[in-house]
């Protein structure tokens, strides 16, 4: 027969401490095993996003990246000719908080395409920012001459019905991308 431990405060503290240590070790092991694959999936998502937002290129985006003000700016070339820039941008003004977007710009500063990488917007409302009806309205627009604010605020962007906050956030992220690109390359957008 096994002897039962007495239910005393020191025994309870010891039991809880041992359980906590075992669970902490298990969580640490799980974290270490999943850290690499998660990082790899994130890199693949970013690479795929870059490929979607600029014309075809043949250089390695990772070899031509600059970090500035929380943005990653990739210079993309094909046969040593500049084809555009991909900017990983963000905003914290979404209805659900943080939104990550990759915006592609042509050498003249016009928007080639955009793709949302991460968001927590309301399904069926804010998630409409992923749909062509909303996101395609930015294609070919140059933020130097196109006001990246919703019409309700005096701008030129058609907001998503019942999701104005998400629409404003999307515009904020695109403006942040353009401003960051303009900061590192003052000539962007100078030609129309």
Q: What is the mean pLDDT of the chain?
A: 89
39-53, 90-104, 159-173: least confident range: 39-53
pLDDT digits (tens, 9 = 90+) for 61-97: 888 788 888 999 999 999 999 999 999 999 999 999 9
**Cβ–Cβ < 8 Å for 87, 111:** no
pLDDT at residue 39 tops 50: yes
Region 29-48 average pLDDT: 84
Q: Where are the domains of the chain?
A: 51-184
Q: What is the per-residue pLDDT for 190?
A: 47
Region 134-146 average pLDDT: 95
CA dihedral sign of residues 154, 168, 61, 58: negative
pLDDT at residue 175 tops 90: yes
- Provide the whole-model pTM: 0.78
**Cβ–Cβ < 8 Å for 78, 55:** yes
- What Cα–Cα distance (Å) separates residue 49 from each residue in 88, 132, 146, 179, 189? 9, 15, 24, 20, 22
In this prediction, what percent of the chain has a pLDDT beyond 70? 94
Q: What is the per-residue pLDDT for 192?
A: 33
pLDDT at residue 135 tops 60: yes
Q: What kind and span of H or E run contains 78? A: strand 71-78
């Amino acid at each position: 027969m096994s002897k039962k431990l007495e239910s005393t405060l020191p025994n309870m503290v010891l039991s809880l401490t041992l359980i906590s240590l075992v669970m902490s070790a298990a969580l640490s092991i799980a974290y270490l095993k999943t850290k690499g694959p998660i990082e790899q999936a994130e890199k693949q998502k970013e690479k795929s996003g870059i490929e979607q937002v600029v014309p075809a290129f043949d250089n390695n985006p990772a070899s031509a990246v600059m970090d500035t003000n929380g943005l990653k700016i990739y210079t993309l070339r094909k046969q040593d000719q500049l084809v555009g820039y991909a900017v990983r941008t963000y905003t914290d003004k979404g209805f659900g908080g943080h939104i990550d977007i990759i915006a592609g710009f042509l050498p003249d500063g016009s928007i080639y395409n955009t793709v949302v990488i991460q968001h927590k917007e309301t399904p069926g409302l804010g998630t409409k920012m992923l749909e062509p009806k909303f996101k395609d309205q930015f294609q070919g627009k140059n933020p130097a001459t196109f006001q990246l604010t919703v019409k309700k605020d005096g701008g030129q962007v058609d907001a998503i019905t019942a999701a104005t906050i998400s629409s404003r956030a999307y515009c904020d992220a695109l403006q942040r991308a353009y401003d960051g690109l303009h900061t590192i390359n003052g000539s962007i957008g100078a030609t129309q």
